[in-house]
Amino acid sequence: MASISYTRPIDPHVHLRGNEYLEYQFLKIGFRDALATGIISVGEQPNTTPPLTNVQAIESRLNQSSLYREGIFHFIHIGMTNDISQNESSLRAVMSGINGLRSDKTFNTHSTGNMGITDSKMRRDIMFLKSRMQYTGVSIFHAEDETLFTGEYNSLYPKTHSLRQNEESETASIEETVKNAVDARFGGILYFAHVSSPNSIDYINNMKSKVSFEIVIEETWHHCFLNANEDYAIHGNIVKINPPLRHKSSQEKVLERVLRGDVDVIGSDHAPHPFYLKNLRERGKIPPSGIPALLFWPKGIELLRKNGIKENVLDNIIFNNANRIFRLGLAPVKVQAEYNPYLWGAYGFNPFSRIDGEK
C-alpha cells in the first residue's frame, strides 16, 4: 500500500467503549488505530459503560486513556440525560472547562447505551436551560425522531433497519432541534453528528443564514461511501449503524455535498462491537449498531482526492473546522500515513471491503 500525505486529522466522533467489552480492549485498539492513521485528536462520545455524564466519570476515563494515547489529544463530550439537575451540573462543567470539556451530547433517540431523550418536552426544556445559563459551548445531537420510524427491524433482513429508521425521521429531528434553539435564543454552537441524508444537509445549509447561532454538519466515511443497496448484500448486519446506511442515490448525493464543501467536519463514528454480536442473524435477536472506522481515514482521504475535492476543502473538514469549533488550539501538522487493511483483523471484519478491495 502506498502512503499519502495529509494534515493530521481531528476525529471528533469516536466510541472507544467502556466496561461492556473489557476483554476486547477496544480502548487500546482505538488509540492504536488513531496512531496508525496519523490522527492528532479524538473526541469521545459519552455512551460508554459507565456513561460519561459527570466530571468524575470523565476524569476516570481520561486517566484510563493516558495508558494508550501516546500524544493524541483526547477530549470528551459530556452526556445529557433525562435528569435536569444532572444536565445543569454537566453544562456548568463545560462552561468551567473542567477536564478539558468543551461540549455536550444529546441522543434524541436511543442508540447504543440507551441514553436517548425521547420526550420532546424534555429536549425543549434542556435547550431553554442552556439559554438561561448563557451556555456558549458545542451542543452535539444524534438526530432521529423515533415517532417517525416505520415498520419493524428483522435481523434476517438487515435492510429493514434502513427502511425503519428512514431519512425523514432524521430531517424531522433536526428541524425540531433547530426550532427549539431558535425559540430558546440558544447562544452556543449546534452540531449535528453523522448526518446521513442529503435532504438533512440541504435543510441545515438553508438555515445557517437564518439563525443567530452557528450550525455544524458532521459527515461520516460510511455515509459517504457505503449504501443499503450494495453493502448489506456483502456484510448483512455487520454494517448496521445508527443512523442507517441509505439508498445508493442518497449516499451518492451525500458524497457530492462533501466534495463541494457543503459539510463542515468529517467524524468517523468509530464504534466497534464484538464480531459474534454484529454477525447475528436470528429472528428476535438485535445486533448492536456501529462499525469500526478509525482505520479508514487514509483510504477515505485518498478517495475524496480521487473524486476531485479541493485541498482547502479537505483541510477544513478533516482539521481546521473541528479545531476551531472545539477550541482545541492545535497546530496543523502534516503526516505521511499508509492505509493498512490488515489491521481490521482486530475487529474480525472489514466493513469497507467493497470500497478498498480487501477482504
CATH (one of 3.20.20.140, 1.10.390.10, 3.40.50.300, 3.10.350.10) for 9-356: 3.20.20.140
What Å distances lie between residue 348 and 24, 32, 238, 266, 278, CA to CA? Answer: 11, 16, 10, 25, 10
- pLDDT of 280 reads 87
- pLDDT of 130 reads 98
> Which residues pair with residue 76 across a beta bridge?
44
Q: Tell me how far apart the alpha carbons of residues 307 and 289 are, in angstroms, rounded to a whole number.
A: 29
- pLDDT of 242 reads 98
- pLDDT of 286 reads 93
| Domain locations along the chain | 9-356
Residue 124: strand, helix, or coil: helix
230 CA to centre of own chain: 22
- pLDDT of 114 reads 83
pLDDT tens for the chain, residues 1 to 359: 689 999 999 999 999 999 999 999 999 999 999 999 999 999 999 999 999 999 999 999 999 999 999 999 999 999 999 999 999 999 999 999 999 999 999 999 988 878 999 999 999 999 999 999 999 999 999 999 999 999 999 999 999 999 999 999 999 999 999 999 999 999 999 999 999 999 999 999 999 999 999 999 999 999 999 999 999 999 999 999 999 999 999 999 999 999 999 999 999 999 999 999 999 888 788 999 999 999 999 999 999 999 999 999 999 999 999 999 999 999 999 999 999 999 999 999 999 999 998 75
